[in-house]
Amino acid sequence: MTNEQQEPVVVPHRDLDGATLQSVIESFALREGTDYGEREHSLQQKVTSILRQLDSGEAQLVFDPSSQTVDIQSTGARLGRG
Protein backbone atom coordinates (compact mmCIF):
# COMPACT_ATOMS: atom_id res chain seq x y z
CA MET A 1 0.00 0.00 0.00
CA THR A 2 1.25 3.47 -0.84
CA ASN A 3 1.32 6.61 1.31
CA GLU A 4 0.51 8.70 -1.74
CA GLN A 5 -2.29 11.21 -1.10
CA GLN A 6 -5.28 10.61 -3.36
CA GLU A 7 -7.30 13.49 -4.75
CA PRO A 8 -10.94 13.86 -3.68
CA VAL A 9 -13.49 12.68 -6.24
CA VAL A 10 -16.71 14.52 -7.13
CA VAL A 11 -19.63 12.07 -7.01
CA PRO A 12 -22.71 12.96 -9.07
CA HIS A 13 -25.51 12.99 -6.48
CA ARG A 14 -27.97 11.57 -9.01
CA ASP A 15 -25.84 8.40 -9.16
CA LEU A 16 -26.80 7.55 -5.56
CA ASP A 17 -30.04 5.79 -4.73
CA GLY A 18 -32.59 7.93 -2.90
CA ALA A 19 -32.09 6.44 0.58
CA THR A 20 -28.31 6.78 0.41
CA LEU A 21 -28.50 10.38 -0.80
CA GLN A 22 -31.01 11.19 1.94
CA SER A 23 -28.65 9.73 4.57
CA VAL A 24 -25.64 11.66 3.27
CA ILE A 25 -27.58 14.93 3.23
CA GLU A 26 -29.05 14.36 6.71
CA SER A 27 -25.63 13.55 8.12
CA PHE A 28 -24.26 16.77 6.66
CA ALA A 29 -27.23 18.84 7.86
CA LEU A 30 -26.92 17.55 11.42
CA ARG A 31 -23.23 18.36 11.79
CA GLU A 32 -22.30 20.82 14.46
CA GLY A 33 -21.40 24.20 13.01
CA THR A 34 -23.34 23.98 9.74
CA ASP A 35 -24.66 27.52 9.19
CA TYR A 36 -28.27 28.02 8.15
CA GLY A 37 -28.57 31.67 9.15
CA GLU A 38 -30.32 33.32 12.05
CA ARG A 39 -33.57 31.32 11.89
CA GLU A 40 -33.97 27.74 13.00
CA HIS A 41 -34.85 25.26 10.27
CA SER A 42 -36.26 21.74 10.58
CA LEU A 43 -34.16 18.83 9.38
CA GLN A 44 -36.50 18.42 6.40
CA GLN A 45 -36.09 22.10 5.48
CA LYS A 46 -32.31 21.72 5.64
CA VAL A 47 -32.39 18.53 3.52
CA THR A 48 -34.63 20.21 0.95
CA SER A 49 -32.34 23.24 0.77
CA ILE A 50 -29.20 21.12 0.35
CA LEU A 51 -30.85 18.94 -2.30
CA ARG A 52 -31.90 22.06 -4.19
CA GLN A 53 -28.28 23.26 -4.06
CA LEU A 54 -27.03 19.91 -5.34
CA ASP A 55 -29.59 19.97 -8.16
CA SER A 56 -28.66 23.54 -9.15
CA GLY A 57 -24.92 22.87 -9.10
CA GLU A 58 -24.27 25.23 -6.17
CA ALA A 59 -23.03 22.25 -4.15
CA GLN A 60 -21.50 18.86 -4.88
CA LEU A 61 -20.79 15.56 -3.17
CA VAL A 62 -17.09 14.89 -2.70
CA PHE A 63 -15.56 11.55 -1.70
CA ASP A 64 -12.15 11.68 -0.03
CA PRO A 65 -10.35 8.37 -0.67
CA SER A 66 -7.74 9.12 2.01
CA SER A 67 -10.28 9.38 4.83
CA GLN A 68 -12.98 7.27 3.15
CA THR A 69 -15.54 10.03 3.84
CA VAL A 70 -18.17 11.87 1.83
CA ASP A 71 -18.77 15.59 2.23
CA ILE A 72 -20.97 18.20 0.60
CA GLN A 73 -19.06 21.25 -0.58
CA SER A 74 -20.10 24.54 -2.05
CA THR A 75 -19.10 25.12 -5.65
CA GLY A 76 -18.89 28.86 -5.00
CA ALA A 77 -22.16 30.08 -3.51
CA ARG A 78 -22.85 29.91 0.23
CA LEU A 79 -23.92 26.41 1.23
CA GLY A 80 -26.65 25.82 3.75
CA ARG A 81 -28.72 28.93 3.20
CA GLY A 82 -32.13 28.49 1.77
Residue 6 inside a domain? The answer is no
Please check whether residue 69 lies inside any domain of the structure: yes
Separation of alpha carbons 47 and 28, rounded Å: 9
pLDDT at residue number 64: 94
In this structure, is residue 64 part of a structural domain? yes
Write the CATH number for 55. Answer: 1.10.10.610
- The pLDDT of residue 78 is above 60: no
Query: What does pLDDT average to over the chain?
Result: 85
| pTM: predicted TM-score of the whole model, two decimal places | 0.77
For residue 8, is it within any domain?
no
Q: Is residue 9 part of a domain?
A: no
Does the pLDDT of residue 21 top 70, yes or no? yes
Residues of the chain with pLDDT > 90: what percent?
63
42 neighbors 29 (Cβ within 8 angstroms)? no
82 pLDDT more than 50: no
